[in-house]
Each structure stands twice: as structure tokens, then as C-alpha cells.
Amino acid sequence: MKHNSTVKEQSLRPTTSGSLQLKPTPAEPIKAELDERILMALSAAGEKKAINSIVLDLREVASFTDYFVITSGTNERQVQAISDEVVETLKKAGTPAARVEGYKTAEWILLDYGDFVMHIFDEKARKFYDLERLWRESQRVELPAELAIEVNSSLRSES
């Protein structure tokens, strides 16, 4: 019983000494070779003016997928249009989505492709769920310049 209480104490009061180590969040995005399908999904999202797109590398912190692709639209119709474009583009390339969740409400649409999961949020839901914070132990992947400009362009700028 003593061992369990020690583990609990360490988890409630993490320190840098002892057996529990906190992994610092990298400030800079890492360079990684992204799968062609992820690049196609980002490009398709960019065609529908998706904003604030990022890719998180989850390979070291999760076993259910390798990457999260997270992007946003400004309203319900745009979120659905981004989803439609991504699904159609990847389907034409021979990769149908294994599962699509949340399409009707379009607050948060999840497209599951097995080794990557695409999350398409409206702006309010993205701030509320804050997957970037929730998965802060993951590494943010640097996007190729042509996709970063294309995908992150927006008619509105945040202040």
C-alpha cells in the first residue's frame, strides 16, 4: 500500500528528482517527413480556406494513431466544406476514411484514417477543447512552406 501512495504523491507533486520526469514541451516545431496522405489532407483543407492548421506527432505518446492533423473553419458550413474536400480528395487517391464523426453538428468533425486523425473545428470549439494543450507532450511538426502559407491563410487575423 505504501508504494501506491508514493506513486500518487509523485503524480500529484511532480518534481525533476525521483523517478517521475516531466518532458518539456518543445518550443520549435520539429522537422519530420510527413506521409503523402497528410500533405494531401492539408492541401485539400487549404483549398477550402482552413485556418491555423497544425500537425502533432503522437508516435511517442499514443498507440492509437501516429499524427493528429488539426485545423479550423470559421463557421459550420466551412467546417463541413473542409471535411468534404479532405474526404473526397483522399478517397480519390485510394484512401477512404475509416470513420467520420460529428459531421451534422460541424462543431468538431473527426476524420479517422488509422495512422492519422484529422480534427476540423469551428473556432469556438477549438479554443474550448484545446487539443494542442491536451496533447502537449506530443511534438508539433513543421509544415512545408507552401502548405503553411496556403493552409494558414485567413481573411481575418487574430489580435
pLDDT band at 134 (very low <50, low <70, confident <90, very high): very high
Query: What is the per-residue pLDDT for 112?
Result: 97
CA angle 140/24/138 to nearest 5° reads: 30
Query: What is the per-residue pLDDT for 11?
Result: 47
Give CA–CA dist 49/33, Å, rounded: 24
The residue count for the chain? 159
Which tops the pLDDT comparison, 77 or 143? 77
Dihedral sign, CA of 54, 59, 65, 66? positive
pLDDT above 90: percentage of residues in the chain: 65
**pTM for this predicted structure:** 0.75
Residue pLDDT, tens place only, 7-64: 445 544 555 444 444 444 455 667 777 889 999 999 999 999 999 999 999 999 999 9
Residue pLDDT, tens place only, 71-81: 999 999 999 99
Q: What b/e readout covers 4-30, taking b as 16+ CB neighbours within 10 angstroms? A: eeeeeeeeeeeeeeeeeeeeeeeeebe
Q: Residue 75: name the closest of 99, 42, 49 by CA.
A: 49
Q: 47 Cβ partners below 8 Å, 6+ apart?
A: 85
Lowest mean pLDDT among 12-16, 32-36, 101-105, 116-120: 12-16
Q: What b/e readout covers 110-122, taking b as 16+ CB neighbours within 10 angstroms? A: bbebeebbbbbbb
Query: What is the per-residue pLDDT for 145?
Result: 76
**Residue 151 in contact with residue 120, Cβ under 8 Å?**
no
Domains, the chain, in order of start with CATH, read 34-152 (3.30.460.10)
Dihedral sign, CA of 28, 31, 37, 39? positive
